[in-house]
Amino acid sequence: MPELSQHWESSGSTSQYLELPYDPPPTQPRSHYRETAYYSGSASSSSSRNSYESLPDTFSRMENKSRMEMEAQRMQRLETLEILRRMHNIPEGVPINLDALPDIDNRRAFNMGTLVHFAIAGSPNFRMSVSEIRTAIANRYSVFRDGSQKWKGSIRHMLSLKGEFRHVPRPITEPGQGNYWSLDMTITKDKRPRKRKARKTRRGDSV
Instruction: Give a yes or no: residue 165 inside a domain.
Output: yes
**Residue 104: predicted pLDDT:** 86
Instruction: Give a yes or no: residue 33 inside a domain.
Output: no
Rounded to whole angstroms, the Cα distance separating 146 from 148 reads 6
Instruction: Give a yes or no: residue 50 inside a domain.
Output: no
Instruction: Give a yes or no: residue 99 inside a domain.
Output: yes
Closest CA to 23 of 49, 1, 47, 50: 1
Rounded to whole angstroms, the Cα distance separating 113 from 122 reads 14
Burial of 77 (0-12, 13-18, 19+ CB in 10 A): middle
Rounded to whole angstroms, the Cα distance separating 126 from 73 reads 10
Instruction: Give a yes or no: residue 107 inside a domain.
Output: yes
Domain count along the chain: 1
Q: Residue 108 is part of which domain span?
A: 95-183
Q: Find out whether 121 and 97 touch, Cβ atoms under 8 Å.
A: yes
**Residue 206: predicted pLDDT:** 46
Rounded to whole angstroms, the Cα distance separating 102 from 110 reads 10
Instruction: Give a yes or no: residue 83 inside a domain.
Output: no
Residue 146, beta-bridge partner list: none
19 — phi, psi (to 5°)?
-115, 110
Entry field: residues in the chain:
207
**Residue 21: predicted pLDDT:** 58
Q: Find out whether 176 and 160 touch, Cβ atoms under 8 Å.
A: no
Residue 155, CA distances (Å) to 9, 132, 135, 201 in order: 105, 11, 12, 33
Instruction: Give a yes or no: residue 102 inside a domain.
Output: yes
pTM above 0.85, yes or no: no
**Residue 154: predicted pLDDT:** 92
Instruction: Give a yes or no: residue 125 inside a domain.
Output: yes
Residue 179 belongs to domain with CATH number: 1.10.10.10
Regions of the chain with pLDDT less than 70: 1-56, 59, 191-207
Rounded to whole angstroms, the Cα distance separating 92 from 43 reads 65
Residue 11, beta-bridge partner list: 14
Element (H, E) at 21: strand 14-22
